[in-house]
Structure 1
């Protein structure tokens, strides 16, 4: 990023191409260099192991919270019962939207 900034100063910002996110961020945004670096690193690594890490942490922390596990089981069993009553074998988007507690648990670990 330092090299890019120096090059932009040397050849002029107008002549520097904006063909990547760093070029655009350096020229067009009001972010500090630290914020730009944080953005680039977050985007670069955001998809790498985040889902598996969130699942692992969820399971790890649920082990010490039997009340939460019980509430999750009750919620899922209610949805399974409703699915069977409808004669369905897979979850629908509507079923997922009914998982209020499950969504709270998964959001908690994604944010932290």
Structure 2
């Protein structure tokens, strides 16, 4: 027969204290469920971005198309549209600006 889990004697608590503890545990469970849903959504979005034609890290592609959505980039060599993490050239639509004023591509942002 398996050992019973350690039980905590809560008999010394008043009814209102027990109710407060139960409310905290319920809220914790709700927050965990919300967080699990948020993580699942982020994973799904990241897979979708990658599935839409995001270029891989090999770098064997044209610098004239966006590394994420594959849309053509300007013919002018603009080095400011290169992601600092993956080094892919990306269009404005695939850039995500960070609070510090810098930006990363949409895939690197979601992976971060």
When normalised by structure 1's length, the TM-score is 0.28
- Structure 1 or 2, whichever has the larger Rg, is 2
Larger fraction in strand: 2
Bigger helix share:
1
